[in-house]
Amino acid sequence: MRESYYKARKRIHYKRFFSRIFLLLFIIATVVLGIRFIISRVPSYDDSILGSAYLSLDMPVPTATPRPTPPPGYSERTSAYPAELVSIYNQYEVKTAYLTFDDGPTANITPQILDVLKEKGVQATFFTLGINVEKNPELARRTVSEGHVLANHSYSHDYKMLYNGTEHFVEDVQKTEQVIIDTVGAEGFVKVFRFPGGSFEKSKDPQKDALSGMGYVFLDWNALNGDAEGHNIPPETQLEKIKSSTKGVTNAVILMHDAATKQTTVDALPAIIDYLQSEGFVFKTLKDAPSA
């Protein structure tokens, strides 16, 4: 009798043990699924991420609707796109730097960037987000009034929406263009698009075709300060990245950011400009870029 009693107690013990294990696994699974759901609902914009093509390469091969003189690693597939801005990466007699800032305008960083550019007497191109132009219209107008130009970097930087077919992509690009023109006028806008994450993946070819149909060219970069590789990249690290990525380059399309987390980009900018000037670069906006 006692033996059967203990056996029954043992069975109950095992049942409770496995029930608790099951409950624990259920709770863990629920938490994991909940986290994944929350992440999926958060907009994909993260100014510290440029996309898989960027992260997998030390310096991506620049691509654009303007196809430059083929650099090392030239991909045949990009030759299908018409050459406008054909000389953007080509050799000039004068070394030229195009400073480009992505993801603004932002209330805390863009004014500081503009202050530095004004002090140095340098013009730049700002690849703006439509949502940020709407939030900071006076900054957008100040940018143009000080001799810079705005270009299109999408409305919200939402990877999932932009790269899931072309319908929403076209609507997004057109919406951003209208916001910019309504804010600063057509003279302050250059019809150039920079893909969030760059245009390097073949999967973005449908979006490239759609841009061509809208009269756009698209442009990546062939030099950078590395401020997208994380938050608070030290200014000295950014300067070294500029030195290495512009080495041997005559026409430098330089990727930087004026997003809200890029204070160290502001801190690095004076030394970056001084270095480029010491190397003989002159500065232009994409409105001054050569076209076919």
Q: What are phi and psi of 127, to 5 degrees?
A: -85, 95
State which amino acid sits at residue 62. P
SS3 12: helix
Reference 177, options 206, 198, 209, 151; nearest CA is 151
Contact predicate 223/242, CB 8 Å: yes
Asked if 257 is an active-site residue, the reply is: yes
Give the list of residues 6+ apart from residue 14 with CB closer than 8 angstroms, or none: none
Beta strands in the chain (DSSP E): 96-102, 125-128, 149-152, 189-193, 217-218, 223-224, 251-257, 282-283
Residues composing the chain: 292
Contact predicate 236/81, CB 8 Å: no
CA 191 from centre of chain: 17
Q: Which of 148, 153, 157, 257 is catalytic?
A: 257
Give the integer Cα–Cα distance in Å for 45 and 192.
Answer: 20
Q: Which of 102, 172, 227, 258 is catalytic?
A: 102
State which amino acid sits at residue 88. I
Cα angle 134, 151, 188 (rounded to 5 degrees) comes to: 80
Residues annotated as part of the active site: 102, 257
